[in-house]
């Protein structure tokens, strides 16, 4: 959904119209619901989505199809609406699933650091060094996403790792 929102926003910046104003507003209403339920229990998220998002998504789809009939086939707006409608099943997939987020911004934000460090990671040395670095990076990111201070977590991990039973290693995860 973030990509669709971004496409319509870019279009709005270039050429403000009724359509490029209304579409982001409608998407924004959907995001407000998602913001309120982020991090909540899965069954509760699904119930809230069914009660509140369902009508918004249905109305947004109908509104887009109606707009297609009213705007020029030569406009960039029609291409953006067609993109959203062609991707509709992917855009609303999150609605059917109680765990999936509305967009993948969280993952993209995490991966941004990896992309920025890509050149530095090329010179880690051996394959085993790369594997250890990837494991450490995964632990650090997982700790951050879990709301845990990653430095304190690693300090605790290093302190207790050697004495911990291997068959209970999952207890050390964030």
140 and 56 both lie in a single domain: no
111 and 85 both lie in a single domain: no
Number of domains the chain contains = 2
28 and 81 both lie in a single domain: yes
150 and 118 both lie in a single domain: yes
Which of 8-22, 60-74, 83-97, 134-148 has the lowest average pLDDT?
Answer: 134-148
The pLDDT of 21-46, averaged and rounded, is 93
Confidence of residue 147 (pLDDT cuts 50, 70, 90): confident
76-86 vs 18-37: helix crossing angle, rounded to 10 = 30
Output the CA–CA distances (angstroms, integers) from residue 99 to 79, 109, 147, 165, in the order listed. Answer: 31, 19, 18, 32
User: Residue 145: what pLDDT?
Assistant: 80
| Domain stops at, among 64, 96, 128 | 96
- DSSP per-residue letters across 97-137: -SSS-SSSHHHHHHHHHHHHTHHHHTTS-SHHHHHHHHHHH
85 and 7 both lie in a single domain: yes
CA neighbor of 70 nearest in space, from 14, 22, 5, 11? 22
Confidence of residue 22 (pLDDT cuts 50, 70, 90): very high
- Answer yes or no: is pLDDT of 115 > 90: no
Look at the alpha carbons of 6, 13, 112, 79 in this order and tell me if their dihedral is positive or negative.
positive
The pLDDT of 73-93, averaged and rounded, is 93
91 and 110 both lie in a single domain: no
Which of 38-42, 44-48, 118-122 has the lowest average pLDDT?
Answer: 118-122
Side-chain-facing half-sphere of 14: CA atoms under 13 Å:
9
42 and 15 both lie in a single domain: yes
Contact predicate 131/30, CB 8 Å: no
User: Residue 174: what pLDDT?
Assistant: 81
117, 122, 126, 131 alpha-carbon torsion, rounded to 10°: 40
| Domain stops at, among 71, 96, 121 | 96
User: Residue 122: what pLDDT?
Assistant: 66
> Phi-psi category of 50—alpha, beta or left, where left has phi over 0 and alpha has psi -120 to 50?
alpha
CA angle centred on 169, ends 163 and 174, rounded to 5°: 110
User: Residue 111: what pLDDT?
Assistant: 75
User: Residue 118: what pLDDT?
Assistant: 66
Confidence of residue 56 (pLDDT cuts 50, 70, 90): very high
25 and 84 both lie in a single domain: yes
88 and 109 both lie in a single domain: no
Confidence of residue 128 (pLDDT cuts 50, 70, 90): confident
Helix residue ranges, H only, the chain: 2-14, 18-37, 42-48, 54-70, 76-86, 88-91, 93-96, 105-116, 118-121, 127-145, 150-161
6 and 90 both lie in a single domain: yes
8 and 86 both lie in a single domain: yes
83 and 115 both lie in a single domain: no
- Answer yes or no: is pLDDT of 116 > 70: no
Domain of residue 23, residue span: 2-96
């Amino acid at each position: 959904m973030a990509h669709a929102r971004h496409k319509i926003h870019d279009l709005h910046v270039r050429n403000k119209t009724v359509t490029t104003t209304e579409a982001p507003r409608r998407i924004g209403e959907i995001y407000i619901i998602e913001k309120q339920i982020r991090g909540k229990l899965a069954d509760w998220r699904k119930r809230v989505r069914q009660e509140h998002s369902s009508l918004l998504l249905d109305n947004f789809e109908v509104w887009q199809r109606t707009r297609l009939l009213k705007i020029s086939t030569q406009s960039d707006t029609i291409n953006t609406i067609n993109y959203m409608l062609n991707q509709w099943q992917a855009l609303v997939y999150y609605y059917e699933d109680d765990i999936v987020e509305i967009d993948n911004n969280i993952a993209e934000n995490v991966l941004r650091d990896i992309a920025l460090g890509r050149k530095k990671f090329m010179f880690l040395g051996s394959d085993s060094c790369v594997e250890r670095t990837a494991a450490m990076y995964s632990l650090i990111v997982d700790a951050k996403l879990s709301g845990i201070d990653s430095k304190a977590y690693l300090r605790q991990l290093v302190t207790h790792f050697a004495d911990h039973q291997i068959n209970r290693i999952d207890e050390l995860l964030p």
